[in-house]
Structure 1
Amino acid sequence: MPLVYAVAVLTPVGQRVEDSALGGVRETDLFGSDTALNVISVPVILLLVIVIAAVALARRRLAVGLAAGVVVLASAGTSTLVKRIAVRPEIAQSTTPNSFPSGHATIALASLFAVLMVTPRRFRPLVLLVGAAYAVFVANQTVVYGWHRVSDIVGACAVALFWLGIVRAVGPLVDRGERGDRDGRRGPRRLVTAVLVVSTGVTAAVGVAAVVVAFASGAAHDHDALLVAGRMASSTSVLLVVTLVWLADGMHHAAATTDTRGVPTPV
């Protein structure tokens, strides 16, 4: 995140490149509804934390639920704090105020990770697809509405990933095989993995193509193409982080259990 901030926010070139995409924002191009963005609010965040804790308690895994709540609340707090600290110097004649990182994208991703932590493994493929689609949609909406730049989405991904990593490293081990969690079928897991990998590749390819088109237009550049590139870059960032978590964090299958309590000893 510091590197993204340094390049995209603290340099004139970075600011001009990102702000050029905002030139493609037009009222006629906006999504018909901003419901996805309006859903994210303080009351909804608090309600989500309560529901997560309730689900974890029902599954007798309250410690995991509390850890999941930390992911959401700490990510939200960090995003708000960084936005106040990481000022945006006006070094490229920009009229758009500071927006690093995106609070909406941070909450969308952190909420997905938290819900996955308390969801039984056999249901995680469905939850992940729905949650990832929502997070991508939120990232796209913030860019299309001109609220955020690509670096803001990348920063949001970094914040949510940071707190998930902290919690998973020092938090409860219940979900990592020490007390076991019945695994789901391999088919849905493999399907989700394939969808994530293909989606990430496609969005990245479309983004690169849009950049080529934009800069092939000459000095003026094609702001519409740059806006598409910004949207695809934001989507790729979200999908890449979700894919990383899905595969590297062990959320896609259960590890071998080390808890042998209750297992008959062979005679």
Structure 2
Amino acid sequence: MTGSTAARRSSLSRAAVVTAAFLLAAAVFAVAVWTRPGQRVDQWLLDVCRALPAVDGLPLPLTIDVVSNPALWIAVAASVVVLVQCRRFSSRTDARRGLASTAALLAFAPATVLVVQFLRDHVLTRPQLHSWIAETANSAPSGHAAAVTAVVVVLVLASPPLLRPYVGTLVGTWAAVLEFVIVAAGWHRPSDVIISTLLVVGVGMLLPDPWRGTVRGQAPRWSLPIPLLITVSAPAVVAIFYPTITQVAAAGAIAAVMSMAVLALGVGRTARRANRSPTAEARPTVGAPPPTLR
């Protein structure tokens, strides 16, 4: 397979993932917000999740306050810079591309939150289909969920391809738990955080990859499905603090979406190996004179 063929296939694969993410987000919004059964189920899940008293003793990283904590964003920005600098740049042009990619990753989270809030407050609307639902204002997509999903996107893309399945699983578990906490606190409905996750990951697939073109440190194929563990780890963490089966099930649904999102980032955006045509590199013939130096 030539390099141009591999590039075309990679671009088509990425375009398919982006399109699927946007279509799924639109479908979730259409069903959960614009249909009577969707609103009923979505509101029921919200009421069940927030029915129990507020949980005391949550670690700070699992509270809503962490999203507005400057320490989180300083740590994320520093991690992005350090991780990208782990790559060996082969030329000044390559280094400039790495710098541009780093800048794009650093700007992604604040830009994403602003766009999501604009969509929620000025573009998307929520019809009142049930008189018993008190919260009539549109709440989708969630700005807090968009922020934590953006953290997952930038940390996965900044990480070396070898580490992406593990980084994605760890950070994705944290994000899925925090998105459930947002629902349990009554800030957002489950569909709000799911829509945010799909939108942010879809846009994140369009970001430049700082590790594009590297040929070393690729993740082995057996490690690529590791992010699927998020579907188990996130509900397990939620079960420690929220004991009801319905809450754990809601966390499982959120975790399933997050795991597929991280899987798409890790598999769809791993740096491509250098592909050479079998005839691109001529092998020396035994007994032939050495090539002339120029």
**Shorter-chain-normalised TM-score: which range?**
0.7 to 0.9
C-alpha RMSD of the superposition = 3.3
Partner Cα separation in structure 1 for residue 166 and residue 251 of structure 2: 24
Instruction: Give 1:183 shift.
Output: 0.9
> Could you say which residue in structure 1 is the equivalent of 2:128?
90
Equivalent residue for 1:242? Answer: 262
Deviation at 1:140, TM superposition (A): 1.7
Cα deviation for residue 62 of structure 1 reads 0.9
Q: Which residue of 1 aligns with 2:109?
A: 72
Query: Contact 2:140 / 2:192 at 8 angstroms: preserved in 1?
Result: yes
Letter paired with 1:30: V
CA distance in structure 1 between the aligned counterparts of 2:229 and 2:166, rounded to whole angstroms: 17
Deviations 1:130-162 (A, max 9, x none): 211111111221122222222112211122122
* Aligned with 2:251 (options 228, 231, 238): 231
Q: Give the Å deviation of 1:65.
A: 0.5
Stretch moving more, 49-58 or 91-100 = 49-58
Say how many residue pairs are matched: 232
Match of residue 238 from structure 2:
none
Query: Aligned partners of 1:198, 1:4: CA distance in 2, in Å?
Result: 23
Q: Distance in 2 between matches of 1:120 and 1:174?
A: 9
Equivalences for residues 1-267 of structure 1 within 5 A:
1-24=25-48, 25-28=50-53, 30=55, 32-33=57-58, 35=60, 36=62, 37-41=64-68, 43=70, 47=74, 50-51=77-78, 54-55=81-82, 56=84, 59=87, 60=95, 61-85=98-122, 86-92=124-130, 93-96=132-135, 97-167=137-207, 171=208, 174-177=210-213, 180=214, 182-184=216-218, 186=220, 190-191=222-223, 193=225, 195-197=226-228, 199-200=230-231, 226-250=246-270, 254-257=271-274
Please list the CA deviations of residues 194-217 of structure 1 after superposition, one character each: whole Å capped at 9, or x if unmatched: x3335548999xxxxxxxxxxxxx
Alpha-carbon shift at residue 29 of structure 1 (Å): 6.2
Q: Aligned partners of 1:133 and 1:198: how far apart in 2?
A: 9
Shift of 1:107: 1.4
Q: Secondary structure of 1:87's match?
A: coil
Cα drift, residue 53 of structure 1: 6.1
Structure 1 residue 49, shift from structure 2 partner: 6.6
Q: What TM-score do the two structures reach when normalised by structure 1?
A: 0.72
Once the two structures are TM-superposed, the CA of residue 32 in structure 1 deviates from its matched residue by 3.2
The share of aligned pairs that are identical, in percent, is 24
Rg bigger for which structure? 2
Q: Give yes or no for contact 2:160–2:211 (8 Å, CA) kept in 1.
A: no
SS in 2 for 1:90: coil
> Which runs of 5 or more residues in structure 2 are unaligned?
1-24, 88-94, 236-243, 277-282, 285-289
Q: Distance in 2 between matches of 1:230 and 1:245?
A: 23
Write out per-residue CA displacement over residues 25-71 of structure 1, whole angstroms, 9 at most, x where no aligned residue.
23436363272221112745753574266334675421221121243
Instruction: Give 5+ residue unaligned stretches, structure 1.
Output: 205-223, 260-264
